[in-house]
Amino acid sequence: MTVTRLTRQSPAPQRGIVHLGPGAFFRAFNAVYTQEAMEAHGGDWGITAVSLRSPTARDQMQPQDGCFTSATLASGTVKDTVIGSITDVLVAPENPSNVISAMVDPGTRIVSMTITEKGYCHHPASGEINLDHPDIVHDLANPDTPRSAPGFIVAALAQRRAKNVGPFTVLSCDNLPSNGALARGVVLGFARALDPDLANWIAQNVPFPATMVDRITPATTAQDVADLGERSGFHDPACVVHEAFRQWVIEDNFADGRPQWQVAGVQFVGNVDAHELMKLRCLNGTHSTLAYLGYLAGYQTIAETVADPAFAKLCEILWRDEIIPTVPEPEGEDLTAYCATLLARYRDTSIQHKTWQIAMDGSQKLPQRLLGTIRDNLDKGVVPSGLCLAVAAWMRYVGGIDEKGQAIDVRDPLADRLKSVSDQANSAADKVHALMATPEVFDAALAQNNAFQEAVTLAYETLVQHGAKRAVQTYLA
């Protein structure tokens, strides 16, 4: 078969959105919803995607005029759709002024983000901006050539204010609790440190709606690209693979319009908090639990992990006993049915979602995905031993050595520090105590809770002595 490069077949839409973070999830989610909305209702909502670090997405997509293939996987079937909502891809370090210009353009009405937890340059335990973060230090000293997302947003808003262009909406689409409030907090924190008057203008004029996003999107592999070439005849290194399920809930608060995303299934609500908490705790909490315990047990994917009946049962008991009791039921949702759907999604072998991929950046994820649920249980006098086992598995994982004595490639902003802390402690109790003294992850009140420390220490000892599979079975006993 002759394989040719994918190219755009119809005129590109005019820009209405600048998006920071053109990774696989954004392409499988925001870009797809936006194309469907424009196909149904029109509108100039083309997306300029901005990479804050790597040129990879630009290098993959520029020869394809911004187009790429969305491959929907479900029970062994594949549906390929060419997505053309992205009109341009910029690499911020190569030319920061181009990025700012795109954000200042009056046609840009939304700046959205999928930059992961670490992109907010904040303290995960408190949610406040980290003014000592190297990128923030740089951006405060060089506001016209920023490196961080808060730096770019504030630089663009400063110019829009000066030119009387009006504000854009800042739309966080990351898996973080109260992501709108978090985005607002870090942007205002940066702006106050730079120009208090500008910060006041932003506070009064710029909306930061909260969102809840959900679609399992594994990292694209070389085999995925090759398989697409066989199916379609196109070489598309920017393709993404994802499950059929998707859910996007958005607080309907925009400065200057938005795409008609509701025609593609977006739920617009007055308050996203309940949906957001449901997803973070029920899905992301068990995803991280399965990632650390599954990886340690030797399982490469989530589907492989839950194929082990003990790990599937672990999820069911966690949901029933430790997670759902802490989650207010959102309007229109049935939490028990929602979790049953989650387990069915986890079991879909079409989705090769790697435990190692989900385990990345755990120091940033734990406070939102696990520790809040643990804190709520402790406040009720309940010690959530299953979630404490998940924390212990994370501690074992960041120690950098697996159960067979092999090195783990830990990808985390605090990886070196966490490994050093773990290496310097001898006993399980010492390791747990030392790792809990990491303020970026554990707030002081939780770290000093004796019941929590004891439960995590017991779980850590079980992991070391008997391994992850036996530790899960012990929890179920």
pLDDT in tens, 354-396: 999 999 999 999 998 999 999 999 999 999 999 999 999 999 9
Q: Give the C-alpha separation, 296 to 290, whole Å.
A: 10
Q: Give the C-alpha separation, 65 to 221, whole Å.
A: 22
Q: What is the DSSP string of 384-403?
A: -HHHHHHHHHHHHHHTTB-T
Helix (H) or strand (E) holding 338: helix 335-347
Q: Over 70: is that where the pLDDT of 421 sits?
A: yes
Are residues 67 and 123 in contact, defined by beta-carbon separation less than 8 angstroms? no
Tokens standing for residue 457: 């220490």
Banded pLDDT at 124 (limits 50, 70, 90): confident
Predicted pLDDT at 354: 95
Are residues 148 and 183 in contact, defined by beta-carbon separation less than 8 angstroms? no
Banded pLDDT at 10 (limits 50, 70, 90): confident
- Per-state percent for the chain, helix, strand, coil, to nearest 5: 55, 15, 35
Q: Phi-psi category of 424—alpha, beta or left, where left has phi over 0 and alpha has psi -120 to 50?
A: alpha
| Closest among 277, 38, 68, 54 to 179, alpha carbons compared | 277
| Closest among 28, 124, 129 to 369, alpha carbons compared | 124
First to last CA, the chain: 55
Do the strands 169-172 and 110-113 form a parallel or antiparallel pair, or are they unpaired?
A: parallel
Instruction: Name the residue with tokens 């739920």.
Output: 267
Banded pLDDT at 1 (limits 50, 70, 90): low
| Backbone angles phi and psi of 280, in degrees to 5 | -60, -45
Domains 4-269 and 273-476 are alike in CATH topology:
no
Q: What is the DSSP string of 447-459?
A: HT-HHHHHHHHHH
- The topology under which CATH files domain 273-476 is N-(1-d-carboxylethyl)-l-norvaline Dehydrogenase; domain 2 (1.10.1040)
Q: What is the mean pLDDT of the chain?
A: 95
Q: Over 60: is that where the pLDDT of 81 sits?
A: yes
Are residues 369 and 394 in contact, defined by beta-carbon separation less than 8 angstroms? no
* Type of residue found at 36: E
User: Which is higher by pLDDT, 368 or 34?
Assistant: 34
Q: Over 80: is that where the pLDDT of 2 sits?
A: no
Contacts of 154 (CB under 8 A, 6+ apart): 143, 146, 187, 190, 191, 194, 198, 202
| Per-domain boundaries in the chain | 4-269, 273-476
Banded pLDDT at 208 (limits 50, 70, 90): very high
Predicted pLDDT at 15: 97
Helix (H) or strand (E) holding 251: strand 247-251
Tokens standing for residue 268: 């617009």
Banded pLDDT at 249 (limits 50, 70, 90): very high
| Closest among 402, 378, 384, 216 to 292, alpha carbons compared | 402
Q: What is the DSSP string of 40-87?
A: HH--S-EEEEEESS-SHHHHHHGGGTT-EEEEEEETTEEEEEEE--EE
* CATH class of the domain comprising 4-269: alpha beta
Banded pLDDT at 176 (limits 50, 70, 90): confident
**Residues 365, 368, 372, CA angle at the centre, nearest 5°?**
135
Contacts of 460 (CB under 8 A, 6+ apart): 392, 395, 396, 428, 431, 432
What pTM value is reported for the model? 0.84
| Closest among 338, 337, 292 to 314, alpha carbons compared | 292
* Type of residue found at 253: N
In whole angstroms, what separates CA 413 from the centre of its chain? 15
Question: Average of pLDDT values for 134-161?
Answer: 98
